[in-house]
Structure 1
């Protein structure tokens, strides 16, 4: 009769394509029970947005199927997002597993639209997602979500995020007095507002917090990088050289601050003719891929140019909500899954580093005292 060791040996042949490790050593097999040839366990994926979840599940079933002595097999598939940042070092936001800053070198690349739809795509996989509109000078997320009358309450000295389409949302645009006024603040005040939105907000338990940063390399991106441990930065650009060349400066800033770069997404990548389905590269071709190759970072997706994306943002109806089966929504969904995968990879590296540091501390000789 087959034993537990044989089951685990078979399961250890299944490799997570992103993490490059077997699912047993990664602790993805939970609650394993084997009684009289009846096998039961839970496969716990590293994120509900795993791009290879179907592939991993199929590989598991195939591996178990090779154990011909089993009578029955019951597998439950769940997901638990890995912590892609050091929560021990962040007492203010210890309930947020991953913080992803969305940056661009310049304005006009559709960064806020990308941030919003990626957040919605992650939420639709079953993840718990928050969206922080960190552009204090020009907050646009409330408009894009149709939340012109949205507001945030304060309870127990904590800001309570507004909610929309399953997202927890915080934005300076919710403050009514700013509706028709330009935000004129110096850097220290701006940094203080962002810190309050980060650590003085009840984000509760989030798998991912998407932070829509203002363009450029100013106070807000710097404050984010220096205030809390973050998982990494997602860079948004458009294909033309003007945008990609400026995006390189943002990448350089975060590299100097030792903040990981999750990867790059190309917005307005191409236009698909509705009559002939032919792709037209209106703003050039390959800008984001050049950045990816230059900095050896993942190219995570390309979002087509689509009037529905733009008009939906203007009237508070994101395309992930209004047209979830469209090619544009599919593009956001692919990018979101790739981003989630990169977060899992960074989390696995962080886990290895922490385990290595722990073992080094245990093996270090004690200092002798004479």
Structure 2
């Protein structure tokens, strides 16, 4: 949905409640006019009024305009005194309330956030905007995803980042009654639970699964062993520990300065490394397809003469001064360093 269309729809949702209240007040005023008109038609003694004249007389009384003589009947006298202030109070209250919502709209208010959230569909809900949550939000922005954020700390230094970019941001706890509905969970494709409270994350995960059985749940936990058990027991799509994710990188990077990332896939440790092809390297002249098929070395990028080639063709042959980014196992990376030092490639 285009931003202009989204804001227009959000304005409709935002003004729907005051419009409804204003409509109720107008109905009350209309009721007063109808009842008063019937009374004037039946009890006004100075002259016989038609229904239209009686209704019009009552309508004019609301605005303190008297078009007929003062009535003799006590009920009509009561209308003469009570209807003008009561009718004006009802109408003016509705006008003031509606104008306040229209002209003094606060785009950081909860009401506006609720209106914006209703315009989202197939979005990602991010709970927690701490250090981890902030990085997640940045990556989601780079991926072009639509995000709604929930952060319990109103003083978080990361809140201005989200608001500056027009991201709907709710301040509150995920344990609050109805908060997930306000985040429009029913229309979301996934929810990321990245707070530093394991129990709160688990509780929100269970509530989310109950409200939307199809939503993808990604949850952060500090205890990796517990995370694995929870994933199996509660059917959560992905549960991870940030320490467990970071540990392989710290360990492998400390042993080899070329390593830029590392991770486990089905229990196997893989590393991502940058290697500069040396002058005496036996990698020179080797094509990328052979490295992949014979040695399980996957070349992600090849930088040559200042130009980076992502996922280069298999027949590309390596040359001196090429900088290649590769993915492989740690043992094979050590072998690459030996080849790069002149050892013959078999």
TM-score (norm 2): 0.31
- Please identify the structure whose Cα radius of gyration is greater: 2
Between structures 1 and 2, the one with greater strand share:
1
TM-score (norm 1): 0.29
